[in-house]
Each structure stands twice: as C-alpha cells, then as structure tokens.
Structure 1
Amino acid sequence: MRKRVLTIAGSDSSGGAGIQADLKTFHEHGVYGISSLTTVVAMDPTNGWAHNVFPMELHTVNEQLKTALSLNLDALKTGMLGSPDIIARAAGVIEETGIPAVIDPVMVCKGEDDVLHPENLESLKGTLVPKATITTPNLFEAAKLAGYRLITSVEELEDAAKIIHESGAQYVLIKAGKLVDETKATDLLYDGEQFHYLQTDNFDTNNVHGAGCSYSAAITAELANGKSVMEAVKSAKAFIASAVKEGFPLNDYVGPVYQKGTHKEEIEVSVTTK
C-alpha cells in the first residue's frame, strides 16, 4: 500500500513553499500527501511582494485533522503553525499517532520580519520540538530554539544542536549553509552522541524559495518509506540540492526551487562524523 504522509502547515499562494512545496515533494517520493492547513500567506504584487498572513481558527484546523487522522498515516511533518493552540494540537497529533514526526520550526516568511510571536516560540520549544523524531531548523531558528542571539561559529552550532536535543527531539538537523565552509552547503545532524556533517556543493543562486519546506518534506517521505533517519536525511539532502540547482525565477521578487529532483542521483553528499 502506498504510504500516507500528512503536512500540517501554511499555504504559500505563489506555490513555492508551505503545503504546496510539501505536496510536490511527497509526490516525487512516491507517497500520498495529505494536508491540514493552518495559515494562508498571500503576496501583494502591487506592494513589493509584501506578505499578508491569515491564520486559521483552531476549529478549522481540528476539522481538517479529523479527516487526516482517519486515513492511517505513516509519517507527518509540521511547518508554519501560527498560534500556541495549533502548536499544542500538532503535538497532540504526534502523541496520538506515534508515527515519525518531522518538525520544521518555521518562524518567518521570506522577506519578512519575525512573524512568530514570543508565546509561539515558547510553545514550539516546550511543547512541539520535544515530540520530534527530527527537527530541522535553519541557523536563525536554531538560535531562537537554543537561546542564542545568533549562531556565528561551529562551536555555537554544535552547542545549539545539543541544547535542542536535550529538550527532547530525537535528532536535530541544523541547516548551516556556508557557516562551516564557504564553498559547501553544510548541514549538521546530531543524534545525541555524534555530530554528522553533511555537505554538497554550494550552488550560487537566489532561487531558493521553499528549500526548507521541501527538505523537511523529503525527510518525512523517506521516513514513511522505511529509511533510517540518517538514510532519510542523506537522500533528502541530495534531493534538495538538485531542487536548488534547478530553481528558477518566478518573477522579479521570488525564485522557487524545483522539486522534480531530476538530477538527484548526480549530487554527491559527503558525511563526516565526529
């Protein structure tokens, strides 16, 4: 039977990120995507692509989750959630189902100031991230979760991974970008004992909209397909590198990654463990 995977996340009206990116990525990995929408994000083409965020009511999210939870899910991921109540409900779904859960702790819209209110951050830290099979913050999000103002060194990167792991997440994947090596795209996977550095070539492009959503969705799909966390992350790393390489400008404001993953097999992912 085809695996069934849930995304609890926001909608990107431009189609590049959020549930749109998740569902495209699920499809590319041969799993059936199911969605529960938490937020609608629209972009104003008459005002420099300014983002307008429209959160869903908890009741609306709950009604969607009733549908999703009746469908025998194999894995789930979360993205933009929008309120402490919805964050708590997502944590409850993980407890109820016991399935692998990928927590992408989305805190900002591209080009926007921090859209995550302080109470939402505390809910993420205390309620949701501790339930994660794996959480996938970028450097900004990892700093917020670990209590840093910024992460500026490898030592701080590793310390942040430890702090987030100690909160309860089984695995922590921090998307470190060029922090470790200017010539490579580097991510740090921490399992509570060892640091695993995954690297691919760095592609010089601005067309990276939806990269984080697609990466975490690929991990989710691979976990549903029975891969270990390391196998899932390594496969997803190759997939997202290919998607970034094939990204394109959508308009004057945004360039999405292309989730087709056509050239995934051409991407070399090196793993260094310490």
Structure 2
Amino acid sequence: MIARILAIAGSDSGGGAGIQADIKAITVLGGYAMTAVTAITVQNTLGVSAIHAVPPEIIAAQIRACIDDIGVDAIKIGMLGNEATINVVADALSGVNVPIVLDPVMVAKGGAALIDEEAVWALMQRLLPLARVITPNVPELIALTETEIEDSADMLLAAQELLNAGPRAVLAKGGHLEGDMVTDWLVTRHGHQAFSDTRIETRHSHGTGCTLASALACGLGQGLALPEAVARARAFVRQGLERAPGLGKGHGPLGFFPLPSP
C-alpha cells in the first residue's frame, strides 16, 4: 500500500515552500500526501508580507480527519507559528505511533519571523519528545540550544545537546556555515554520522528545509531506515537545487523531479 504522509505546516502562496513543497516532494517520491494547514502566508520569492493563523480547533480537526479515515504512516511538522498551535498539534498527535519529522521553522528565507518567541519553549516541551527526528538549520539550532556555532564541530556538539531534550534523532543542517562543502550531522543515541557534499551556489533555494523534512518523512513512512531516508532526502534536495526552474525575482523554488534509478 502507498505510504500515507501527513504534512502539518503553513501554506506558501508562491508554491516554493510549506505545504505546497511538502505535497510536491511526497508525491514525486511515491507517497500519498495529506495536509493540515496551520497558517496562510502571503508569500513569493521576495519574502513573506502577511500571515493569517488558522484557528487551533480547525488545525486539530484537519489532523483527526486524515488520521481517523485514511490513516497515516509518517508525519512531517513544519511552520506552527504560536504556542496555541503547538499545543493543539501535540494534543492531536498524542498516542499516534508513527515516525514524526519535526522541522522547527522559525525564520523564512527572506528573514520574516515564523514563530513567536514564547512558542519556542512549548516546542521544546511538547513536540520534541514526540519527534523521531528534528531537522534544525544552524540559526534554529542556536535558538533551541542557546549555544554559539561557528563551525561543523560546534554544530555537532549543539546537535548532541539538543538530542538530550527528547527527540530520538537530530539532523543538523550545515548549509548556513561557510565553506565549499556542506555537512549535515545525523545524531542519535547510538552515535553520529556526517553527510557531506560540495556546495551548490544558487539563489533558487526557497523551500529546501521544508522539502528535506517532507522527503525524510516520506522515506520513513515507506520503511527506509533513518540513515537511508536521510541520504535519499538530501539527494532529492540537491537535485532540486540543480534543476531549479529559475522562477521569481528573489529566492526561487526548487525543481521537483523523480530521482534517477540506482
């Protein structure tokens, strides 16, 4: 049976990130995408100009409607925005025993804040313990651990610290660090593993975090082991960067195409 993947995230009117990127990634990778929209953003490649939060009870109802009828094999959580949304999502997922990929979305590519400061505590307390894996970039890792990160070694230490907050694994993404190589660290209670590739220089990188997290959730829902799911998700994002269609005047979207057969 096709893997059923529920994406809980905000809508990007420009189509490059959020729910729209989740649906594309999950579909192209062979999963069945369902959604619970947490917020509506007015957004394009130049940035976010407005955000309208969906009422918490409607978010919870979307989650229940999908799980109670269709069922779910994995869940991706993205933009939540505020404490009320975090709490209602945590309540709705209590007792749901499938892999959960938590992308702690805090700032949009253009710099707009996507979560209230007071909501960070709720994220740490309510959702981290539910997560099979959390996928912070460097600024998010700094915010969640309150540590300074200047290089890959610092990132690994911060990821190990975040692991102690409750998730079963941390995939710390190193794209914000300088250098010709980009290294991501997968940290679990059994050890750590580096995933490194040469940097792809492009301004068309909108939605990379959303796409990676939804691709990772899809892989876990399809039964891949975590390291294999990470490797496939990273390859999918890298191909998206390489085959970006070049749309928009700012940070353009990725290209969504099936991966070549092994």
Shift of 1:185: 2.2
- Does the 8 Å CA contact 2:152/2:174 hold for their aligned counterparts? no
**d(CA) in 1 for partners of 2:93 and 2:77?**
10
- Residue 40 (structure 2) aligns with: 40
Alignment-mate amino acid for residue 203 of structure 1:
I
Between 225-234 and 239-248, the greater mean CA deviation after superposition = 239-248
Aligned partner letter, 2:209: G
User: Is 1:21–1:213's contact at 8 Å kept on the other side of the alignment?
Assistant: yes
Equivalent position of 1:120 in the other structure: 119
Aligned-pair CA distance for 1:222: 0.4
Superposition misfits of 4+ residues, deviation over 6 angstroms? none
The answer to which of 77-86 and 105-114 deviates more is 105-114
Contact 1:238 1:264 in 2 (8 A): no
Paired AA for residue 13 in structure 2? S
Partner of residue 89, structure 1: 88
Partner AA of 1:37 in structure 2: V
Q: Does 1:206 pair with 2:203?
A: yes
How far the C-alpha of 1:262 sits from its partner, in A, is 4.4
Q: Runs of 5+ in structure 1 lacking a partner? A: 266-274
Distance 2:133 2:93 in 1: 12
Give the drift of 1:264.
7.9
Question: What is the aligned residue count?
Answer: 261
> 1:23 and 1:6, CA in 2 relative to 1: closer, same or farther beyond 3 A?
same
> Distance in 1 between the 2:86 and 2:47 partners?
27
TM-score (normalised: structure 1): 0.89
Indicate how the Cα distance of structure 1 residues 230 and 50 shifts in structure 2: closer, same or farther if over 3 A, else same: closer
Contact 1:37 1:61 in 2 (8 A): yes
Q: Quick check: 1:203–1:245 contact (8 Å CA) kept in 2? A: yes
CA distance in 1, matches of 2:143, 2:261: 32
Aligned to 1:53: 51
Contact 1:239 1:264 in 2 (8 A): no
1:225-265 C-alpha deviation (Å, 9 max, x unpaired): 00111110011111111111111322212311112144586
Distance in structure 1 (CA, Å) of the matches to 2:191 and 2:6? 29
The RMSD of aligned alpha carbons is 1.8
Q: Equivalents in 2 of 1:126, 1:103: separation in Å?
A: 13
Paired position in structure 2 for 1:135: 134
Q: Which residue of 1 aligns with 2:19?
A: 19
Distance in 2 (CA, whole Å) between partners of 1:264 and 1:78 is 28
Structure-1 residue corresponding to 2:240: 243
Is this contact kept in 1: 2:100–2:133, CA < 8 A? Answer: yes
> Match for 1:65: what amino acid?
I
Q: Is the 8 A contact 2:109 2:251 kept in 1?
A: no
1:145-194 deviation per Cα after TM superposition (whole angstroms, max 9, x unaligned): 1112x421233212211111001111100111263x72222111101242
Q: Deviations over 1:21-74 (max 9, x none)?
A: 0000010111100000000111379xx655211111112112212211212111
My pick for the range that moved more, 150-159 or 130-139, is 150-159
Report the equivalent of 1:215: 212
Structure 1 residues 127-136 or 91-100, which shifts more? 91-100
Instruction: Say if 1:264 and 1:54 are closer, same or farther in 2 by CA, change over 3 A.
Output: farther
Per-residue Cα deviation, 1:185-223 (whole angstroms, up to 9, x for no partner):
211110124221101222111110011100011100000
CA offset at residue 17 of structure 1? 0.3
TM-score for the superposition, normalised by structure 2 = 0.93
Cα distance in structure 1, aligned partners of 2:160 and 2:190: 9
State the match for 2:105 in structure 1.
106
Q: Whole-Å Cα distance in 2 between the matches of residues 49 and 98 of structure 1?
A: 36
Instruction: Pick from 228, 231, 234 the counterpart of residue 231 of structure 1.
Output: 228
User: Is the Cα contact below 8 Å between 1:249 and 1:255 reproduced in 2?
Assistant: yes
Write the deviation string for residues 59-114 of structure 1: whole angstroms up to 9, x where unpaired. Answer: 21122122112121111010001121221222233332111000000001221243
- Please say if residues 76 and 103 of structure 2, whose CA atoms lie closer than 8 Å, have aligned partners that are also in contact: yes
The yes-or-no answer on 1:260 pairing with 2:257 is yes
- 2:227 maps to a residue whose letter is M
- Contact 1:9 1:38 survives alignment (8 Å): yes
**Alpha carbons of structure 1 residues 264 and 199: separation in structure 2 relative to 1, 3 Å:** farther
User: Is this contact kept in 1: 2:29–2:258, CA < 8 A?
Assistant: no
Task: Return the letter of the residue paired with 1:235.
Answer: R
